[in-house]
Amino acid sequence: MNKLSTYCKGFMLTLVMFVYSCVNDDSFFPDNIDAKITSTTTIVSILNDIKTRNSVINEEDLCFAFKYPLMFGYNTDSTIRIDNFQGLLGVISGQSSNFNITGLQFPIQIVFKGTDKAFLVENESSFINVLRECEIKTFRDIFNHLYRQCFKFEYPITLSDKEDIEIKIDSKDDFNRFLTNQGANYQPDFKFPISILVAPDFKATQISTYYEFYEIINNCVGCPDIRFEIQHLQDNKYKFIPDIEIMEGYQLFFKINGEVIADQVIDGNPFIRQFTPGTYETCIKVVTPNCLNGTITCKEIVVEPICPEITFTNEQVSGTNTYKFSPSVTGESNDVTIRWYVNDVFIENSLLSAGIVEFDLDQGTNSVCAQVITANCPNGEQFCDEVVVP
């Protein structure tokens, strides 16, 4: 009987040690540790960024690496200790709508790629700066891009403002004002659960965590990114080079100073427009089945006047201090007026069609200038030459 009791006790001790070893090594089962967990959208954004990458994730390829251990909190109020990168990947793959990460214990340490020095992250604000440095989109960045395209709210909703005061929002206009008043760095802090109207049919869906919010975001196509380059050609012509893949159902529009240019069809290929002098806001707008309101990107161009070029030749009248000047103007088809200056003193106006003009010059070096002014070149283009009178 004593031998049997001793055997049972030994078996139970071995079983307990085995279970403890599994939890400690894999870092994948929630711990009952009294940790102070801070709710943060930023850690949810980072985990989602890693989850949605198309390639195999290697820790050395990321912009930064965590210094372990880390303590995460779940939406079930349980906590988990993560001891290595593989444990982090396990937590990411193990999430679901009913069981997902909502926060972590600050402070934490990270090491940026290419450095050996640990960087201390003490709070949510500092964590957001890390995302900015690594060009990882925050929840607010993605929210701003997809709000109204992919989802709307079923009001009322409640959010905590930047002072951590709960604010009840009753309408779309109230929400827009609230978001503007909180500033660009504010991350929407919802009091869950909330009801989201999800595109394309805007069916109501209740969500309780930011993980569920990202599940909606990840399934949304939204508006495509639009980019275009502008090349300045001759004669105030500009080449526009769109950078967008045209898909079925896409409609693209070219706008100048807010007006759609009806004669310009955009098919994804470069196109050329000529402008008169002035300042123009040039835009490309795209409307797609997943972006019914359309999205637009704009660039400003400043079109300088094309001034005609003027030159002249001179010839001395034999035995005198009189010189004949024969002007030539290129880039202007109409007859133009030429202003003549000698040593910075205005002498007279002449028409190009009149041909040669004559001036009496003083002995020594004279600076003779001709200036042509047109409607498109009000400041005039000038050509000067020195004439030495013996």
pLDDT number for residue 333: 61
> Where residue 5 falls among pLDDT bands split at 50, 70, 90?
very low
Model confidence at 146: pLDDT above 80? yes
pLDDT-above-90 percentage for the chain: 64
> How far apart, in whole angstroms, are the C-alpha atoms of residue 169 and residue 155?
7
Domain with CATH 2.60.40.10 in the chain: 227-303, 309-389
pLDDT number for residue 160: 96
Q: How many CB atoms lie within 10 A of CB 267?
A: 9
> Where residue 33 falls among pLDDT bands split at 50, 70, 90?
low
DSSP-assigned letter for residue 99: B
Average pLDDT rounded to a whole number, residues 169-178: 95
Q: Which CATH class is domain 309-389?
A: mainly beta
List Cα–Cα distances, 110 to 28, 45, 84, 92, in angstroms. Answer: 21, 16, 13, 18
Average pLDDT rounded to a whole number, residues 347-354: 89
pLDDT number for residue 14: 41
Beta-carbon contacts of 267 under 8 Å, excluding residues fewer than 6 positions away, are: 246, 252
Mean pLDDT across the chain, nearest whole number?
87
Tokens of 78: 């349980």
> Where residue 99 falls among pLDDT bands split at 50, 70, 90?
very high
Average pLDDT rounded to a whole number, residues 271-283: 93
pLDDT-above-70 percentage for the chain: 90
Model confidence at 16: pLDDT above 70? no
- In sequence order, the β-bridge partners of residue 308 are none
Q: What is the fold, at CATH topology level, of the domain defined by 227-303? A: Immunoglobulin-like (2.60.40)
> Where residue 249 falls among pLDDT bands split at 50, 70, 90?
confident
